[in-house]
Amino acid sequence: MSREKKTAIDVIEAIEYMDNEERWKLIHELYFKYFNKEGHDYQPLDLDY
């Protein structure tokens, strides 16, 4: 993967071409990396629902 800086639009365009499962993985990882203010323990993503 390229290390060049991406714009928000570049990221959104990349997300549009992802499989739905990959989008769920992205949301899961972003939550634990940037938004987990309560300090919840990391839980592996369970896509078997």
Give the pLDDT confidence score for residue 16 in this predicted structure.
Answer: 97
Which tokens go with 15?
């997300």
Q: How far is CA 3 from CA 8, 26, 31, in A?
A: 15, 18, 22
**Size of the chain in residues:** 49
Model pTM?
A: 0.65
Give the pLDDT confidence score for residue 4 in this predicted structure.
Answer: 92
Tens digit of each residue's pLDDT (9 = 90 or more) over 9-43: 999 999 999 999 999 999 989 988 888 878 778 87
